[in-house]
Amino acid sequence: MILLGTIVNGIAIIAGTLIGKFLTKIPEQIKTSVMQVIALAVMLLGIQMGLKSEQFLFVIFSLVFGTILGEIWHLEDKLNALGKWLENKLGAEEEGGIAKGFVTATLIFVIGALAIIGALDSGLRNDHSVLYTKSLLDGFTSLILTTTLGIGVLFSAIPVMLYQGSIALFATQINRWVPSELMDVFILEMTATGGIMIFAIGLNLLNVTNVRVANLLPGILVCAVLVTGQYYWSDLLALF
């Protein structure tokens, strides 16, 4: 079953959120300290991902032009609007609570190489081991996030499943049209680009900055264009 890994990932996020919901009645000081620790861990993860780049200019250009596109498309506003809609439907007591949990968790779970690599493995080889590993990580992360950000984290399972499920379903076409060497380079540079976004999420969780991280997401698309352009340009030069 191609979508098994994706489904397990979504269930893990939901389960982690429901368990975390029972742990919300803890002292506010502990919640604050836990959130700070999570933010530091997220920042460290972002740094590790960012250092994987072998062509950092790609990362810079991807983020710059991706941010321009994100601002033009108002991605952050649209994601927040979806979170607000969920709040209204559920009659949330704390305004902004569900939206913040939904947006933050979605960005953390979607950005990163594991989502793409795992979905590709599911689609191409029916191997769900990477997504099972991601499920454990996401489940634990959702539990911790829920203790401070609330039930909004649960709804991040929806975009995660749609995103990874789409990649898994179209994996055979991706494998047919995209050379493995090109995919390897893309995953490397995409991981580094995503790492900067993850680092920004950590800063936001610490309330140090207010980076509109969702508006950086088109950087992944720009990264794909740059890597593809360089790959075929190198092939073209090799003919002469």
Structure-token pair, residue 30 = 């502990």
Report the chain (240 residues): mean pLDDT per 10 consecutive residues: 94 95 80 85 90 94 97 94 84 66 92 88 91 93 89 94 95 85 92 92 91 94 95 84
Total-model pTM: 0.85
Angle at 15 between CA 202 and CA 18, to 5 degrees: 80
| Domain residue extents for the chain | 4-235
Q: What is the pLDDT of residue 27?
A: 82
Query: What are the DSSP E strand ranges found in 132-223?
Result: none
